[in-house]
Amino acid sequence: MMTDTDDLLYSCEDGIARITLNRPDAANALTPDQRNHLIELFEAASGDLNVRVVVLTANGKHFCTGADLRVSRIPESPRPEGAPERSMGDVGRNIKRGAQRLVSSILDCEKPVICAVNGTAAGIGAHIALACDLIIAADSSRFIEVFVRRGITPDGGGAYLLPRMIGLPKAKELIFLGDDLSATDAERIGLINKVVPAADLASAATEWAARLANGPTKAVSLAKWLLNRSLDSDRKAAFEDEAWAQELASQTEDFKEGVAAFIERREVQFRGW
């Protein structure tokens, strides 16, 4: 069972795993250690039968304002005499091992992930939210593709996720201009699922989480896999994936329960396997 750290809180009850970013004094800017712990949690959730849904949120008035540049340093190894402090490949390697691994751990998590965005989600913070399966945001929150303000290109999957979620023209607008996007506008363009008053955020996320925690977990997992793969596959490949996913789902205990409940005209009781 995963445990809390000072900057990352974890609990699991009634099938709902809750992960809370807990650096409110630093606007929940993400440190390398915090990032690596998040990756471990999402990877562990896939194989944990106690976990049927994951809820990701944060404490304070910000969700995550990006990587903490004060501590996000590229790991150094001994260098030959006269070598530059940074050589070609260092930055790209750091992105692959860091931000991309984190976003992939959410996309590849076998359990559905709900993001409850409580405030500003900027840079990698925005992309963490967008990698989640369902996104509920407080009406006071905002999303910012902040990279252009720093003179760099988007990382952590932003240029991959955004066009698939809202189309190429709108993705270019957000990335090129770097303007704040309100939660209301994010919902309007289809970037997130729902906007609620800040006071209702936790209960709204819990409501959806409870429904998923009582659902056929393996079937939902396969559906997530199908939907994510569909964005990068042609019709033939998508139909082949669909057939195999249904084959796998039909072997689960929840499928047997679903059929039995239908035949016996009773409430279904899914167990998650």
Domains of the chain: 8-213 (3.90.226.10), 217-264 (1.10.12)
CA angle 22, 25, 30 (to 5 degrees): 55
Q: According to the model, what pLDDT value does residue 202 have? A: 97
Q: Which of 66, 59, 67 is nearest to 18 (CA)?
A: 59
Q: According to the model, what pLDDT value does residue 78 have? A: 76
Match 């279904």 to its residue by tokens. 268
- Token couple for 90: 């260092």
pLDDT digits (tens, 9 = 90+) for 81-125: 877 777 778 888 888 989 999 999 999 999 999 999 999 999 999
2 pLDDT higher than 70: no
Confidence of residue 76 (pLDDT cuts 50, 70, 90): low
Confidence of residue 79 (pLDDT cuts 50, 70, 90): confident
The span from the CA of 131 to the CA of 39, in Å, is 13
Spatial neighbors of 98 by CB under 8 A, at least 6 apart, are 32, 35, 67, 72
Q: According to the model, what pLDDT value does residue 226 have? A: 96
- Which amino acid is residue 88, in one-letter code? M
pLDDT digits (tens, 9 = 90+) for 173-217: 999 999 999 999 999 999 999 999 999 999 999 999 999 999 999
73 pLDDT higher than 70: no
Backbone angles phi, psi at 73, to 5 degrees: -105, 145
Spatial neighbors of 6 by CB under 8 A, at least 6 apart, are 22
pLDDT digits (tens, 9 = 90+) for 28-43: 999 999 999 999 999 9
Average pLDDT, the chain: 94
The span from the CA of 94 to the CA of 77, in Å, is 13
The span from the CA of 89 to the CA of 174, in Å, is 27
Spatial neighbors of 7 by CB under 8 A, at least 6 apart, are 21, 22, 23, 31, 33, 34
Beta strands in the chain (DSSP E): 8-13, 16-21, 53-58, 62-64, 113-117, 120-122, 134-138, 142-144, 180-182, 194-196
The b-or-e profile of 17-51 (16+ CB within 10 A means b, else e) is bbbbbbbeebbbbbbbebbebbbebbbbbeebeeb
- Residue range 136-163: mean pLDDT, rounded: 96
65 pLDDT higher than 70: yes
Q: Which of 38, 103, 23 is nearest to 71 (CA)?
A: 23
